[in-house]
């Protein structure tokens, strides 16, 4: 088996992990921006803290 085919599954997994990590950071930044905006308008009283999103 050629070496580039042997390393291929690890490379594909690494690309998927990077994409998942980037999407997760992007989604958390959107949620944090929304919470900050709702905090400015004063509607963040009954909302859970952003720490709950990281544990989900």
Domain boundaries, the chain: 16-42+49-56
Is there a contact between 50 and 35 (Cβ–Cβ < 8 Å)? yes
- The better pLDDT of the pair 54, 16 is held by 16
CB 50 within 8 A of CB 30: no
pLDDT digits (tens, 9 = 90+) for 43-53: 544 555 555 44
pTM of the model: 0.38
Q: How far apart are CA 46 and CA 49, in angstroms?
A: 9
Read off the tokens for 53.
């999103």
| pLDDT at residue 5 greater than cutoff 70 | no
């Amino acid at each position: 088996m050629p070496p580039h085919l042997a390393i291929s599954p690890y490379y594909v997994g690494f690309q998927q992990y990077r994409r998942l990590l980037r999407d997760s950071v992007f989604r958390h930044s959107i949620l944090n921006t929304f919470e900050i905006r709702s905090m400015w308008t004063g509607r963040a009283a009954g909302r859970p803290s952003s720490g709950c999103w990281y544990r989900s």
